[in-house]
Structure 1
């Protein structure tokens, strides 16, 4: 029983780390622009697709392929902000949210045209030889997911608290009006927020596709789970995004193990609804 529990625990933490990365991407854009960026779900798919092309088409080694894929998604995210959102003549948040929905559909269509509709597979970052931890079998890919997620969170924390651009983004998130008065460039901040969101989504796609399947719409369900994790933790809160992602992953894994895998999505979203009924702003929301 204890070994089974540990197995479910490691599995939940692994998928929860993916949800946390996606949730952080949602939070970065929300804090600087005040909108929900639904293109985030397609950044996940694009990351996996670029990794597939880097490894199997270009023949790049694993690490350069990963870095190139994440950078490629960040670049696409910047193009989405610069040419998809910035030309909008309305500052209404609802209009911008609907724009992200339309841009998401366009980007998904482009991914489908370039890579097709067939399901594909990605190799893991290192050979798939299970590692025994306290009697539970853990795949090396799961350990890579945890390590790179922690590294990404550490780099994100350093960026926001130790760099001038990161401090500017925090200022915009805290008080947009005051930030504009002191001359903080809003366009540069928004562009950077989309680049970070794209990099986080792309990293999530690169890491999760070796343990799932790869297709043009694989990021839709994962992205919605990441969105749910962001809401669960408190939308806009970085610690809340991490807590919500890990909590949602654990709920899914434990419900699949002890109830049925057919109900794991239902259980997770039911708990999410219950939390929002009691605390509408999420666990760590203000």
Structure 2
């Protein structure tokens, strides 16, 4: 294949890898605060796209306002999920809480199917539809929006955890929940904030990716599982690992589909997941 083909595969890999990184970051935020795998994260991806669809076509909001409203609404739903679904649990056993998130994921998916139906929908891209030609390869403007907004989200995330009181509190709870409670930190509020942040990241991923895929109540399942695989690859709980793992996974998928067969594209994430668990369970950048 020509160099332009390789460049095209790299563009596609960066696009999908960036989305996986966003989802992986959401997994890491909740894991670092509560010590669990939050499987509702996969549905935050679907919910973000669906709320964006309603904001655009039901409430007729402009694109920028619709994006902000959809991300904020997904974060609010995430807080409700934590407050109603997890906080009343009588056990702090991580395994029980993980099973609760699986049940909450099924419930949330059913609610989305009732509200928006099961038909496939489409979201318009954030930019123009005319592709840019770079080195003989086509680069969609939506890819630039994905890369740009993800970079902004990562920078805001870094600033949040380093420079804000709530971010520092979340880091304290992540390091030692018992000591954080002793010094007066409200653990429940910190955990709710972690869910809000994870919901915002998942919702943003759904908003960015569905214009180039499809939109439905269950679109986030496969994307979310690949984001989970990316988090494992990078080192579960590591923010830099989530970003690197997502990008690597996206590139591996794209190159496999381009040079071998697209039939193997969705298998790559789970093969990588198994290999990492067998060879280096702590991931590339273990904490």
TM range (shorter): over 0.9
* Match of residue 255 from structure 1: 256
* Match of residue 219 from structure 2: 218
Q: Secondary structure at the match of 1:126?
A: coil
* Match of residue 168 from structure 1: 169
Residue 267 of structure 1, CA deviation = 2.8
Contact 2:232/2:276 (<8 A) preserved? no
* Match of residue 57 from structure 2: 56
The 5 Å alignment of 1:16-55 reads: 16-55=17-56
Residue 273 of structure 1, CA deviation = 2.0
1:106 aligns with 2:107: yes
Q: Secondary structure at the match of 1:235?
A: coil
Taking the aligned partners of 2:200 and 2:187, their CA distance within structure 1 comes to 20
Segments of 4+ moved more than 6 angstroms: none
Give the root-mean-square deviation of aligned CA atoms.
Answer: 0.9
* Match of residue 85 from structure 1: 86
* Match of residue 125 from structure 1: 126
Residue 170 of structure 1, CA deviation = 0.6
Contact 2:229/2:272 (<8 A) preserved? no
1:237 aligns with 2:238: yes
Q: Secondary structure at the match of 1:132?
A: strand
Residue 275 of structure 1, CA deviation = 2.7
Residue 40 of structure 1, CA deviation = 0.4
Residue 135 of structure 1, CA deviation = 2.6
Taking the aligned partners of 2:220 and 2:281, their CA distance within structure 1 comes to 26
Q: Secondary structure at the match of 2:133?
A: strand
Between the two proteins, the alignment pairs up a number of residues equal to 286
- Cα deviation, 1:40-65, whole Å, max 9, x if unaligned, reads 01100000000111111111110000
* Match of residue 6 from structure 2: 5
Residue 84 of structure 1, CA deviation = 1.0
* Match of residue 281 from structure 2: 280
Residue 134 of structure 1, CA deviation = 2.8
- TM value normalised by structure 2: 0.98
Taking the aligned partners of 1:104 and 1:273, their CA distance within structure 2 comes to 23
* Match of residue 151 from structure 1: 152
Residue 178 of structure 1, CA deviation = 1.6
* Match of residue 77 from structure 2: 76
- Cα deviation, 1:9-46, whole Å, max 9, x if unaligned, reads 01101100000000000000000000110100110000
Q: Secondary structure at the match of 2:179?
A: helix
1:269 aligns with 2:270: yes
Q: Secondary structure at the match of 1:160?
A: helix
Consecutive unaligned residues in structure 2, runs of 5 or more: none
Taking the aligned partners of 1:175 and 1:3, their CA distance within structure 2 comes to 50
Q: Secondary structure at the match of 1:69?
A: helix
Change (3 A) 1:205 1:167: same
Residue 272 of structure 1, CA deviation = 3.0
